[in-house]
Amino acid sequence: MKTVFRRPESLANVATHYCPGCTHGVIHRLIAEAIDELGLRERTVGIAPVGCSVLAFNYFNFDFQEAAHGRAPAVATGIKRGRPDLIVFTYQGDGDLASIGMAEIVHAANRGEKFTVVFVNNAIYGMTGGQMAPTTMPGQVTTTSPAGRDVNLVGYPIRMCELLASLRTPGFIERVAVHHPKYIARAKRAIKQAFKYQAENRCFSFVECLSTCPTNWGLSPLKACKWLEENMMPYYPVKNFKTPEEVGSNSQALATDEPRRPSAAPVREPAARNHGEASHAG
Amino acid sequence: MAKVLMKGNEAIAESAIRAGGLCYFCYPITPQSEVAEYLSWRMPEVGGSFLQAESEVAVANMLYGAAGAGVRVWTTSSSPGISLMQEGLSYIAAAELPAVVVNIVRCGPGLGGILPSQCDYLQATKGGGHGDYRCLVYGPSSVQEAVDLMPLAFDRADRYRNPVIVVGDGMIGQMMEPVEFRRYEFPPLPSKDWATTGCKGRKPNVVNSLYLDPAKEEQLNIRMAQKYEKMKREEVRYEEFWTDRPYRVLLVAYGTTARICKTAIQKLAEQGIEAALLRPISLFPFPEEKVYELGQRAEWVMSVEMSMGQMLEDVRLAMGRTKPVYFYGRTGGMVPSPDEVVEAVKLHLERK
C-alpha cells in the first residue's frame, strides 16, 4: 500500500487547542512540511509568541523558545548571533508583531538577521478575546472598536510587508493566504523558500499569512474564508514584495537607492587596533 | 601578568571576554558606553559576537534567546536602561537561564543624571521585574574587584541558571585603576542539556516561562525559592574592616561608599572614636548574619549609601530591634566625603 498523506515528522502528534475553522493548523503544517523537506528539523529552533499560538511549542517536534509579547525577533536575533548554525524562525500574530513588537521586527529585518518570520495576520487579537489589532480593517467591529474601526481616530491598518519591503537591506518578503487550497499551495512554496534562503545563509525572510478568526469575527469557518477574500485581500495584496536576487538583477533601477558613503574623516577601513596588554585573551 | 592601568568600564569588558563572555548585546547609555565601544572592536578580534541593538528591551530578549541556546551571554547598561531590561530579566529568571548584567548605576529616578549613585539597590536585590524571583547581585568597590567578580558572575549564572547582576556605581565604571587579569579556576559546570541547540539525537527542548497549570507554576516558584535559599547559604561575600579591634560604631557600606567609609574610619580613629566597617560584596544574598554578629559588638549601626536609604532596610532586617540602626546618605549624584561621614557618626554619638 502506498502512503499518500501522513503527519510530517516536525509536527507533534497531539491535538491543538485552536478553535474550529482556525487557520493556525494549516500554517503549522506548512512549516512542518517545509522543514522536513529541507531536512532542517534537527537544527531548528522555533520561537512562540504571545497570542493564540503561545502554545505552539507543544505542536512542533523540535526545539522551541517561548518569547515575551512582541520580542520574538529579538529572541531569534540572540539565538542566531550566538549560534549561527541553527535554523531559527518566529511565529507571530498581528498584535505581537505589528503592535507591541514593531521595533523588534523592523530592526531585525533592517539588520538582515538571517532567520525566518511567519506572520499570521487575522486582523484581530485572538487570545485576549477579539480586540482591535493594528491590522483590523476600517469599519471592522471588535470588542474595543464596537462601532467599527474609525480610521479618523486610530488610523488605517498597517501593511507589514509593504512597510518592511521599503527597507534597503536585502530580504525575502511575501504575503500569502491560507483560506483556500489554491492559496495554500502558494503559501507552502513561499514558506519553504523562506527557510531555504535561511539555510543558505542568504537573508532575512518574512512570510505574512492572511488568516481567519471565525470565533472573534463571529462568522462560520466558511463565511470567514469569504470575509477574508472580500475584505482583507483587496487591502492586503497576496504577492511577493522582495527577493534577495532583486538587488543584483535590478541594480540599474536601484542605483539611486544606494546611500552615498561619506568620504570624510568618520569613515574608517577595518584596521588592527593597538591595545597593549589586553590584546591576548586568557 | 603585570598590572595595567584601565578604566573600569573597559576592564569589565576585558575581564568578561577572558571569562568566555563572547556574546554581548548592548544599547548605549552614559556612564557605561565605553564597554560597548571597547567590545565593538575587541569582540571581532576574539571571534565573539557584538551587537548594538535597537533598545534595552530588545537587548534583554536577545540575552534570553542566546542564553536559551546555551551561549554565555551578557550586557551592560545604566539605571534607565536596566529598567527597560526588567521584562526580559523576569523571563530569564523564570526560564532559569544564565545571563550576566552589569549596571553602572547613575542617579535617578526618571532620567535622573549621569553621576554615580547607589539608588538601584532595591531594584537589583528585590527582583526588579514582575514575579517572584531574585538575581544574584555583586557590588564591587574597585576596578580590580569588578574584574575579579566578572568570571565569578558567569560561573554562578551557569551554576544556578539564574541572572547575575554586577552593580557598579558610575565611579567604578569611570575611574582608572591598575588591574591584573588573573586566572580563575572553577569546578566543572553541569552540561546545558536543557538548551535549544537542535534536537538531534534527543527529545525537543523547550525554553519557556508559561505555566497555565497553577500547581506547576507554584512548583516552579518553590524550586526557584530553594535556589535562592541555597545562594543564602553558599554565596554570601563580604569584607570586614577594623572589626578585629573594639569599636563603638559599625558602618555598613558597599561599592564606592565603602571606600569612603574606610577613610572616615581612619579619621575617626585619629579623633579617638572607634568604628569598623562591614562591606557587603554580595548584595543578594545579603550578609545578614554577619551584620547581626558584628552589630552586636557595637553601640549602634549605620548604613552609609549613595541613596536615600535602600540597603538600610536590609541592615534593619538583619539587626531586628537589637541595636539602633542609623542612616547617612547623599544622592542625586553627590558623593559623600569622608569628613561628612565622620560628622554623621559624631552627630549620633553626641545625641546619645
Residue A99 has a pLDDT of 98
Summarised one tens digit per residue, pLDDT across range A215-236 is 999 999 999 999 999 999 999 9
Helix (H) or strand (E) holding B30: none
Strand partners, A149: A138
Question: How many interchain CB pairs under 8 A, A with B?
Answer: 155
**Which pLDDT score, from 0 to 100, does residue A249 have?**
46
Cα–Cα dist B333/B168, whole Å: 14
Distance from CA of B9 to the nearest CA of A (A): 14
Q: What type of residue is B283?
A: L
**What is the crossing angle of helices B288-295 and B311-319, to 10°?**
60
CB of B42 less than 8 A from some CB of A = yes
Q: Which residue has the higher pLDDT, A251 or B125?
A: B125
Chain Cα centroid distance, residue B253 = 14
B37 touches chain A (CB under 8 A): no
User: What integer pLDDT is reported at residue A281 of this predicted model?
Assistant: 38
* pLDDT for residue B126 is more than 70: yes
Report pLDDT digits (tens) over B255-294.
Answer: 999 999 999 999 999 999 999 999 999 999 999 999 999 9
Mean pLDDT of B13-19: 98
Indicate yes or no: CB of A82 within 8 angstroms of CB of B66: yes
Does pLDDT of A77 surpass 80?
yes
What's the residue count for chain B?
A: 352
Between CA A177 and CA A212 the distance in angstroms is 9
| Cα B208 from Cα B348, distance rounded (Å) | 52
Average pLDDT over residues A35-63: 98
What is the enclosing helix (H) or strand (E) of A72? helix A72-82
A78/B65 touch (CB, cutoff 8 Å), yes or no: yes
Amino acid at B51: L
Q: How far apart are CA B187 and CA B143, in angstroms?
A: 25
Amino acid letter for position A153? L
Give B168's strand partners: B104
B114 touches chain A (CB under 8 A): no
Is B278 in CB contact (< 8 Å) with chain A? no
Distance (Å, rounded) from C-alpha A55 to C-alpha A46? 11
For chain A, positions 253-282, list CB contacts with chain B under 8 A: 273, 275-279, 281-282
Average pLDDT, chain B: 97
Band of pLDDT at residue A246, cut at 50, 70 and 90: low
Choose among B14, B62, B208: nearest Cβ to A57.
B208
Angstrom distance (rounded) from CA B190 to CA A103? 36
Flag if B62 and A68 touch (Cβ within 8 Å): no
pLDDT, tens digit, for every residue of A116-134?
A: 999 999 999 999 999 999 9
Residue A144 has pLDDT above 50, yes or no: yes
Q: Which residues contact B322 (CB under 8 A, 6 or more apart)?
A: B292, B295, B296
β pairing state of A240-242 and A171-177: antiparallel
Contact B196 A66 (CB under 8 A): no
Residues 43-62 of A with CB under 8 A from B: 43-45, 47, 54-55, 57, 60-62
Question: Is A223's Cβ below 8 Å from some Cβ in B?
Answer: no
pLDDT for the residue B276: 98
For B192, the grid coordinates are 546545558
CA distances from B101 to A73, B152, B192, B228 (A): 21, 13, 20, 18
Beta strands in A232-274 (DSSP E): 240-242
- Let me know: does B110 contact B332? Beta carbons within 8 Å: no
Rounded to whole angstroms, how far apart are CA atoms B341 and A79?
48
Number of Cβ atoms within 10 Å of the Cβ of A163: 16
Say if residues A32 and A10 touch (Cβ distance below 8 Å).
Answer: yes
pLDDT of residue A280: 40
Please tell me if residue B12 touches chain A, with a CB cutoff of 8 Å. no
SS3 content of chain A, % helix, strand, coil (to 5): 40, 15, 45
Contact A179, A22 (CB under 8 A): no
Q: Which residues of A touch B206 (CB under 8 A)?
A: 57, 63-66
ipTM for the predicted complex comes to 0.97
Chain B CB contacts of A76 under 8 Å are: 65
Q: How crowded is the C-beta side of B25, counted as CA atoms within 13 Å?
A: 31
User: Beta B176-179 vs B4-7: how paired, if at all?
Assistant: antiparallel
The whole-number pLDDT of residue A245 equals: 80
Cα–Cα dist B260/B342, whole Å:
10
Q: Per the omega criterion (within 30 degrees of 0), is the bond before B31 cis?
A: yes
Q: Yes or no: say if B26 and B55 are a contact pair by the CB < 8 Å rule.
A: no
Please choose, from the candidates B251, B265, B34, B286, the residue with its C-alpha nearest in 3D space to the C-alpha of residue B143: B34
Contact B107, B80 (CB under 8 A): no
Q: What is the rounded CA–CA span in Å between residue B232 and residue B226?
A: 10
Beta bridge partners of A93: A120
Against a cut of 0.80, is the pTM above it? yes
- pLDDT tens for B153-184 read 999 999 999 999 999 988 999 999 999 999 99
With helix as H, strand as E and coil as C, how does B203-237 read?
Answer: CCCEECCCCCCHHHHHHHHHHHHHHHHHHHHHCCC
Distance CA A235, CA A232 (A): 5
Cell match 532583486: residue? A246
**Section B290-316 average pLDDT:** 98
A88-119 pLDDT, tens digit per residue, is 999 999 999 999 999 999 999 999 999 999 99
Residues whose CB is less than 8 angstroms from the CB of residue A155 and which lie 6 or more positions away in sequence, other chains included: none
